[in-house]
Amino acid sequence: MSENLPVMALPDPVEQEDPLVGLTVDGRYLIERKLGEGGMGVVYKIKHVVLQKDLAMKILRADVSKDQEIITRFRQEAQSASAIGSQHIIDISDFGTLKDGSTYFVMEYLDGVELSDVAEGEEPVPAERVIAIAKQLCDALGAAHDRGIVHRDMKPDNVFLVKRGNNADFVKVLDFGIAKVGGANSKLTKAGQVFGTPHYMSPEQCSGQSVDQRTDIYAVGVILYELACGKVPFDADNLMGILTKHIYEQPIPPHQLPPPHDVPPGLEAVILKALAKSTDQRYQSMAEMRADLDLISEGATPGAVLDAVKRNTTPLIRPDGTGAHSAMTMGIGGEAPAEASKAPIILGAVVGLVALLGVGAAVYFLFLAGDDPTPIVEAQDPPPAPDPVPDPVAVEGTEGTEGTEGTEGTTEPTEAPPPAVAMITVVSEPEGVEVWVVDPTAGETLAGNTPFELPRPPAGQFVNLVLKQPGFTEHPIRVGQFTSEQVSVTLHASSGGSTGGRSSARRRGNQTGTTTTPVTPPPTEETPPARRRGTGVGSEVLDPWAR
């Protein structure tokens, strides 16, 4: 019976007409159509009725125009962008008020694509294109920083690529709505406030600390990582998970991501330096970052590689004053002897190696390890001599006779035995302490007890270990190609009553003493990595003003 019922078609929903479309503002700006809208503002394509020039107009909603702080921030966005005077910053030419009290400003119309559309493509962006875009971002933000303006919300959504002459990727930076203007005496920026978009926020932003130009440098590092690798360096299912990773976790180097990514070592070094947790270990200016990018384009080794070499060959000092030293016998506790004189010798040897090889990539993969806050110990003795290669031809003779031809024996070549695997032994005082292997994605795994043997890692690879024993201070060790055949470690009693062992295992970088959710290992080749941001938190802006 239901088959005979007439088919009822629902009418298509009627799109509500925008009352501003078709309106002429101040006798010179004809509003043609809506381009997009954000939390508090709407952007329209307009035309100057006299000049017949296409422009764009950003209008603050009437219902929020009564908030004086929002009005001030809206005006600050217009003033900040227009004061910079860079060809890579969107030009703002007018500011005014509509009859209903809504505030607006007029800016150039950009006919191009958002960088976010490029980042969300099927494949990672080629390195040459990433470098070209990065140089322009450095020029744009460098001009802003010279004016005392920090953008604070750098992300692909706020970067436009337009065609300018022969350059199809001419960069335009926009949306200075939450910019920090140096010297501005206002309450727009309060201590402890968190501004920005989670995936691109610096550690100091995530923790509500004061920011400077190095916050923008960190955000550019995230953008370049995303373009080159097809995913952001830190992602999680919720907001706090993302913020926590920015503060405590190290990014996975692009060359370690599955599947392999074609990111040149020099570009990888630049990206990782920009993503340093400590502001002092990042680039200190956009001009400095631009100089390294220019070196990559010229085929030279960027300074980021040599900075990593220097940082990883200098003895690391603990907060309590004790040090981690490159020696065969290492201990923790008490006043560590000064070994500052060894650092220049090691550094000189490494720099000499760079000059000898003439390849910055080899130095980078051998020494670059990021600015990990955990002290690392690596013994830098010369590599052991290779085992002698056995004679590939053995002579088979009569039973009990070796090396001579028997009455019935024949000479036949036999397969050479595989070369012996070089092993490294870790011994400790006291004996029998637990040896944990630290993996940047899987966390810590109990591997055995001392004395503990492990194969010598190949060139450019390292194994991070932590020695634990109840009642003793944990001791980290890094084992590499040049580590001694035997490493001796002395554990010292913990003054704080640390229990050590399995119960004391914490995620690396967690300084609060509370456990956090383990990081999901990177997806395998069969499971393509999720691109860009996690579901539900990708476009969330932690700020009362959004474009």
Average pLDDT over residues 373-389: 50
Q: Please report the pLDDT score of residue 47 as a whole number.
A: 97
The burial class, CB within 10 Å (0-12 / 13-18 / 19+), for 376 is middle
Flag whether pLDDT at 192 surpasses 80.
no
In the predicted model, is pLDDT for residue 379 greater than 50? no
Going by their DSSP bridges, the two strands 329-331 and 486-490 should be labelled as parallel
Task: Encode pLDDT of 268-295 as tens digits.
Answer: 999 999 999 999 999 999 999 999 999 9
Mean predicted confidence (pLDDT) in 309-327: 53
| pLDDT tens figures, 209-241 | 888 999 999 999 999 999 999 999 999 988 889
Residue 372 appears among annotated catalytic residues: no
**Per-residue pLDDT at 407 exceeds 70:** no
Supply the DSSP symbol for 252: P
pLDDT at 184 > cutoff 60: no
- Per-residue burial over 198-213, b if 16 or more Cβ lie within 10 Å, else e, is bbbbbbbbbeeeebbb
Mean pLDDT of 169-197: 60
Q: Average pLDDT, whole number, for the chain?
A: 73
Give the residue among 419, 417, 401 at the shortest CA–CA distance from 409: 401
Query: Residues 325-347: pLDDT tens digits?
Result: 433 333 333 333 344 444 444 44
Residue 299 has pLDDT above 90, yes or no: yes
* CA distance linking residue 481 with residue 455, whole number of Å: 10
Reported pTM? 0.57
The reported pLDDT for the residue numbered 313 is 60
pLDDT of residue 419: 62
Residue of 18, 67, 146, 153 with catalytic role: 153
Taking residues 474-497, report their average pLDDT. 80
Percent of the chain predicted with pLDDT > 90: 33
* Predicted local confidence at residue 472, as pLDDT: 87
Query: Sign of the C-alpha dihedral, residues 253, 257, 260, 261?
Result: negative
Average pLDDT over residues 510-530: 39
Q: Which residues of 286-311 are buried (b: 16+ CB within 10 A; e: fewer)?
A: bebbbebbebbeeeebbbbbbbbbeb
Strand partners, 173: 89, 159
The sign of the dihedral angle between the CA atoms of 311, 312, 315, 317 is positive
pLDDT at 13: 55
pLDDT the model gives residue 302: 94
Q: pLDDT exceeding 70 applies to what percent of the chain? A: 63
pLDDT of residue 7: 56
Domain annotation for the chain: domains and CATH numbers: 24-108 (3.30.200.20), 115-317+335-367 (1.10.510.10), 423-504 (2.60.40)
- Residue 99 is predicted with a pLDDT of 86
- Give φ, ψ of 397 to 5 degrees: -130, -160
Average pLDDT in the 84-90 region? 90
| pLDDT at res. 121 | 82
* Alpha helices, H only, 27-100: 68-84
